[in-house]
Amino acid sequence: MSSLQALIFDVDGTLADTERDGHRVAFNQAFEQAGLDWYWSVELYGQLLSVTGGKERMAYYLDKFNTGFPTDSSTPQMIKELHASKTMHYTELLSTGAIPLRPGVNRLINEARENDMRLAISTTTTPANVTALLEHALEKGSTDWFEVIAAGDIVPAKKPAADIYNWALKQLNLDASDCLAFEDSRNGIKSSLGADLKTIITINDYTKDDDFSGASLVLDQMGEPDSPFTTLAGDNYATSYLSLDLLYKIHAA
Ligand code: XBP
Ligand code: MG
């Protein structure tokens, strides 16, 4: 039987609630700075989240929501420049400490480290954004705690494709059966299940109605000893917060 050797975390929505008050805000700042009248409301952004990746999301917006905006062969370059600007605004925002980690994340990661569990990241967001979140919301230097950071354009097909998880597993030199994945969205779990990873979901406002069939456990949050999670699906083994002990049980099931 395989043993649990590594935890692979999604970033946006899983480690922190970054979308509504982080990425969305930064996109709007980039649009305004470029003199565009584009504005992504909280509601519109929820619809745009069906496409992962900031550049891909902007292309989707032009294709389906802002169809009157003239596009030509220079549009991909414009999107690239807007995205670079958005990344600058986003990392600046994170450097103020505006976006904290979700409940239980810091505790679980530290418990994993104390027990020599290997850690990795699998995300569609840009590497600079991962570093900014870890350094400002987790701990200075904590980027180094993650042996593998699979992020952004490192694979051509973003989530829901399984490529980013498969890439992370290859770098870890582990089988999917040796690991657990942590996700928050339908696109995320499609990707992790596509790589044959058992997956634990913590939902958020944008993903609470997503279809999480196939998840080992669906929670509202990771929880803390004094602040229990609510279990939405799956077996929590009569526990109230996500601990390494619970992860071993889920992995062995
Ligand atoms: C995250 C995303 C990303 C971010 C923006 O999805 O969809 O596109 O919203 O990141 P997941 P960039 O949590 O499933 O990885 O703008 O840096 O692409
Ligand atoms: Mg996510």
> Domain coordinates of the chain in residue numbers?
6-17+101-252, 19-95
Residue minimizing CA distance to atom 14 of ligand 1: 188
For residue range 26-65, list pLDDT tens digits in order. Answer: 999 999 999 999 999 999 999 999 999 999 999 999 999 9
- Tell me how crowded residue 192 is: count the other CB atoms within 10 A of its CB: 30
User: For 155, left (φ over 0), alpha (ψ -120 to 50), or beta?
Assistant: beta
Q: How far is the CA of 27 from the centre of ligand 1 (A)?
A: 12
Q: Ligand 1 pocket, 207 CB below 6 A?
A: no
Contacts of 247 (CB under 8 A, 6+ apart): 4, 7, 180, 200
Q: Ligand 1 pocket, 123 CB below 6 A?
A: yes
CATH architecture of 19-95: Orthogonal Bundle (1.10)
Instruction: Tell me if 6-17+101-252 shares its fold with 19-95.
Output: no
Residue 1 has pLDDT above 70, yes or no: no
Q: Which atom of ligand 1 is nearest to the CA of 86?
A: 16
The mean predicted confidence, pLDDT, of the chain is 97
The CATH class, in words, for 6-17+101-252 is: alpha beta
